[in-house]
Amino acid sequence: MYAPPRHGCEPLPVVVWVHGGAWITGDKSSRVDDKIALFGDAGYVFVSVNYRLTDPEAEDPLRYPAHNEDVAQALAWLVESVDDYGGDPEKVAVLGHSAGAGIVAAIATDPRYLGAHDLGLDAIDCVAPWTPKPSTSRA
């Protein structure tokens, strides 16, 4: 969790980042330096979360919906605890890239994930799933 210096007593809005990696790679610390700076400079608490990854070679690999459940659990903890870090639990945005985009889209639209933690979909103020458009080449 990265919180910028506060000026005053008002809690800051929160941005939660969910990394990509095809559900098999990636980490909450991957490629976040620019996001920490961007959101911190804009006055947001920035949080990047992990989820369990799938090992496709495992005898019994982790499968859907475990990744979504992990992020919903992290978000529930955040809503409960972010005020201790200067964040506003009523102003939470979730952003995700690639596999993270699928995860944030699921937890923001399917009430079962947050509902398992006694939260409604209204616990999220903003959701932004982003998956880059594949490049195409013309021969």
Question: How many C-alpha atoms does 39 have within 13 Å on its Cβ side?
Answer: 23
The token pair at 73 is: 């659990």
Q: Which domains does the chain have, with CATH numbers?
A: 12-130 (3.40.50.1820)
Sign of CA dihedral 78, 80, 86, 88: positive
The arrangement of strands across the sheet holding 45-49 comes to: 45-49, 12-18, 87-97, 126-130
For the segment 90-108, the average pLDDT, to the nearest whole number, is 96
pLDDT digits (tens, 9 = 90+) for 63-83: 999 999 999 999 999 999 999
**Residue range 24-66, pLDDT digits in tens:** 889 998 889 999 999 999 999 999 999 999 999 999 999 999 9
pTM over 0.85: yes
Which residues, 6 or more positions from 101, have their beta carbon under 8 angstroms from its beta carbon?
Answer: 18, 20, 129, 130, 131
Question: One-letter amino acid identity for 133?
Answer: K
pLDDT at 1: 84
